[in-house]
A and B are shown apart, each in its own frame.
Chain A
Amino acid sequence: AQSVTQLGSHVSVSEGALVLLRCNYSSSVPPYLFWYVQYPNQGLQLLLKYTTGATLVKGINGFEAEFKKSETSFHLTKPSAHMSDAAEYFCAVSGDKLIFGTGTRLQVFP
């Protein structure tokens, strides 16, 4: 069985500040891990994914995430937030099906 937990349903940062969105997973097999972004009334867009290999994964729009097996974490970061980053972010873990976390709404203040 697999599950994913996103810590913090809301995160607020100032423009230019560091973005950190937390995700912890549980998996009985080596996991595939994903971060998706969703803008209002739209589908999901893949930001980045970890399958195997390098544990630091770089994605689109300047986002990156690091797979830490010892901590069962896959936190999403961006060095400098932009107003356009405001959206809902979902962490997901994949086995035979993709299971989503509850999401984190990112607000960016000017």
Chain B
Amino acid sequence: GAVVSQHPSRVICKSGTSVKIECRSLDFQATTMFWYRQFPKQSLMLMATSNEGSKATYEQGVEKDKFLINHASLTLSTLTVTSAHPEDSSFYICSARDSAGTNEKLFFGSGTQLSVL
């Protein structure tokens, strides 16, 4: 079946550095991908909707300049956390929408645990 690959699964970085997270749809084309953030023991909060070839749509309260999203191809979206700080430490999850056929499906990556020291 369809698979979404998210990489890396875990990253530790120093405060002030930037971290890039990749989300790939392996066997389908995803015109739309979503990025979520999850704090410990909390639900997933939608950060932004990424559309191939256009600018991402950010949810209210999400800093566009801090969380850069690029969706340059139909199988790849990236989230870059710029100038990371300890408060950015969180679990980030991507999902990709497979709209082919009549039965739309949404698939999730396995998540990235970001720890900023």
Show the binding face of A for B, using Cβ within 8 Å.
36, 41-46, 51, 90, 94, 97-103, 105
Contacts and interface: CB of A to CB of B under 8 A. Distances in A.
B111 A98 contact: no
A97 B49 contact: yes
B25 to A, nearest CB: 14
Contacts of B49: 97
Which one of B44, B46, B109 has the highest number of Cβ atoms from chain A below 10 Å of its Cβ? B44
Interface of B: 6, 34, 36, 41-46, 49, 91, 93, 95, 103, 106, 108-111, 113
A105 B108 CA distance: 20
Given A36-B108, A90-B44, A101-B43, 10 more contacts: A41-B91, A44-B108, A45-B108, A90-B43, A97-B34, A97-B46, A97-B49, A98-B106, A100-B44, A100-B45
Q: SS class of chain B's interface: helix, strand, loop or mixed?
A: strand
Contacts of B95: 98
Q: SS class of chain A's interface: helix, strand, loop or mixed?
A: strand
Contacts of A44: 44, 93, 108
Among all A-B residue pairs, the 10 with the closest Cβ atoms: A43-B110, A43-B111, A102-B43, A44-B108, A43-B108, A100-B44, A100-B43, A103-B43, A43-B93, A43-B109
25 contacts: A41-B91, A41-B111, A41-B113, A42-B111, A43-B6, A43-B93, A43-B109, A44-B108, A45-B108, A46-B106, A46-B108, A90-B43, A97-B34, A97-B46, A98-B34, A98-B46, A98-B95, A99-B46, A100-B43, A100-B44, A100-B46, A101-B43, A102-B42, A102-B43, A105-B41
